[in-house]
Each structure stands twice: as C-alpha cells, then as structure tokens.
C-alpha cells in the first residue's frame, strides 16, 4: 500500500475564555466558547511562526479543524501568520470528529457538585483509580476517553484517503492525545500519563524514509 501522508502537524487551540474562567461553561455551549484574544493571541501567532518556519507550500497543505469556535479562530490566526496572503491557498476542511470530549450530564460541574448531585455514579468514577479505569469510564450521557480515541481513529482514515502529504490539524487537548495514541499505536496507560498539550502548542509527526514515525515539538507542549 502506498503511504501518502508524510507529515502531520497538531495544533491545540489557543487560550480560551473558559481556560481563564471555567464558569463560562455554565452559560455558553462548549462549541461557542471563543478565544480570550481572537485577533492577536501571542501564542497562536508564535505557533504561526513555527509553522511558517517549515517553509511549506500552502497549496500543498491540507488543514483540518474542529468545528468549535476556538479552533476555527486559532486556525485563522495560525495560517494567516504562517502563510500571509498565501493562507487562502491552503485546503481547509472541518471535521466534527475532532471535537473535544463530551462530558454529558456532568459538563460544567465541579467535583463537589457532581458528588452532591450524582453520588452513586460519582462513587463509581472515584473507584476507577487506575489509568485504565479512567480511560474507559463513560461520563453519563457523554463520552469516555476511549470513545474519543475511537472516533479519532475514524478521522485518521480521512487523512489516509487524502491526496495531500502534509496535514495541519487544529484540535483540543484530549483529542490531541487521542490522535497521537491512535496514530502511534500507543496504549491506554500512555494516554493517562501524558499531560494535555499547552494552548497553541505545535507538535509535528513526521515519517522517515524507512516508514518510521517520530514526534517533534515545534513549540512548548505542556
């Protein structure tokens, strides 16, 4: 089988208003949460500099993004900085498969609030103290981290069916780890010990001439 993909660049969204004030989740749907600085976020601009330093031809790059507002805003900042007027030549594609983990009935609640409102299921969650248990625990009417990894695996098929060999993917913290887990064939224990990447961090995954994949952080990861 001919392998088309040679380079994947993962960019976590820049700092959002919910990163600064988690109470925003109580009043704003997750998909509508914006960046704190949607027009001039310094970390997103630094990510654009890191991407631009690779010297890529924008016409040969496919950019994928989560439909959540903060990812779309990050993509605009990063691609604009990296390619300038050439940013319009990048092939941009949205995928709902890149959305962040869904926390269902517990979304926006603190641990203490969950324990008070849903003690039985919170106790079950608390009993899953090891990494494997946390990975498979499904939030009520939401997703487990295993669910996220499963849908990200579906997304990988889109990359492999693409004619592009370079892909930039704008996504979230949990989905970034799920992507790396699926792409690099890493175990669930790795997922639970690996921290979320920093906001606007850039990670390059590249394939060498022998078909081996390796990671390289282009900016800070945590």
DSSP 113-176: HHHHH-HHHHHHHHH--SHHHHHHPPPTTS--HHHHHHHHHHHHHHHHTSS-SEEEEEE-HHHH
- As given in the structure block, the two tokens for residue 104 are 């269902």
pLDDT tens per residue, range 13-68: 999 999 999 889 889 999 999 999 999 999 999 999 999 999 999 999 999 999 99
Q: Are residues 195 and 95 in the same domain?
A: yes
| 182 inside domain | yes
Pair (43, 114) in one structural domain: no
Q: Distance between CA atoms of 13 and 39, rounded to whole angstroms?
A: 13
**Is 222 contained in some domain?**
no
In this model, does residue 221 exceed pLDDT 70?
no
* The pLDDT of residue 1: 46
**135/165 same-domain check:** no
**134 and 61 in one domain?**
no
Residue 188 belongs to domain spanning: 7-102+144-217
Residues 159 and 185 in one domain: yes
| Total domains in the fold of the chain | 2
Q: What is the pLDDT averaged over residues 66-82?
A: 98
Structure tokens at 153: 């695996």
List CB contacts of 188: < 8 A, sequence separation 6 or more: 131, 132, 135, 136, 146, 181
Residue 133 domain-assigned? yes
Q: How far is CA 214 from the centre of its chain?
A: 18
- Can you tell me the mean pLDDT for 134-157? 91
Question: Per-residue pLDDT for 139 more than 90?
Answer: no
Q: Are strands 91-94 and 61-65 parallel, antiparallel or unpaired?
A: parallel
Residue 36 sits in the same domain as residue 134? no
Residues 11 and 118 in one domain: no
| pLDDT band, very low/low/confident/very high, at 132 (cuts 50, 70, 90) | low
pTM: 0.91
Q: What is the Cβ-side half-sphere exposure of residue 191, based on CA atoms within 13 angstroms?
A: 29
Tell whether 151 and 134 lie within a shared domain.
no
Average pLDDT value for residue range 207-219: 91
Distance CA 150, CA 2 (A): 24
Residue where a domain terminates, one of 113, 142, 171? 142
Q: Is residue 1 part of a domain?
A: no
Residues 67 and 161 in one domain: yes
**170 and 138 fall within a common domain:** no
**What is the distance of C-alpha 102 from the center of its chain?**
13
18 and 60 housed in the same domain: yes
In 3D, which of 50, 76, 71 has the Cα closest to residue 203? Answer: 50
């Amino acid at each position: 089988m001919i392998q088309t993909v040679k380079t994947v660049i993962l960019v976590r969204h820049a700092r959002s208003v919910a990163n600064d004030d988690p109470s925003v989740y109580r009043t704003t749907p997750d998909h509508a949460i914006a960046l704190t600085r949607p027009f001039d976020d310094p970390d997103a601009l630094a990510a654009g500099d890191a991407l631009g330093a690779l010297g890529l031809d924008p016409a040969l790059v496919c950019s994928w993004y989560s439909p959540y507002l903060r990812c779309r805003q990050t993509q605009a900042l990063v691609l604009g900085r990296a390619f300038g007027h050439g940013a319009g030549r990048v092939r941009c594609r949205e995928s709902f498969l890149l959305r962040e983990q869904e926390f269902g009935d517990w979304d926006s609640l603190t641990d203490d609030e969950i324990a008070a409102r849903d003690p039985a299921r919170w106790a079950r969650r608390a009993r899953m103290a090891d990494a494997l248990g946390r990975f498979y625990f499904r939030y009520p009417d939401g997703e487990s981290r295993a669910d996220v990894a499963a849908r990200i695996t579906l997304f990988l098929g889109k990359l492999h069916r693409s004619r592009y060999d370079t892909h930039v993917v704008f996504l979230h913290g949990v989905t970034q780890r799920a992507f790396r887990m699926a792409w690099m064939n890493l175990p669930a224990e790795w997922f639970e010990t690996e921290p979320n990447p920093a906001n606007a961090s850039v990670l390059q995954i590249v394939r060498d001439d022998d078909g081996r994949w390796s990671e390289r952080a282009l900016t800070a990861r945590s």
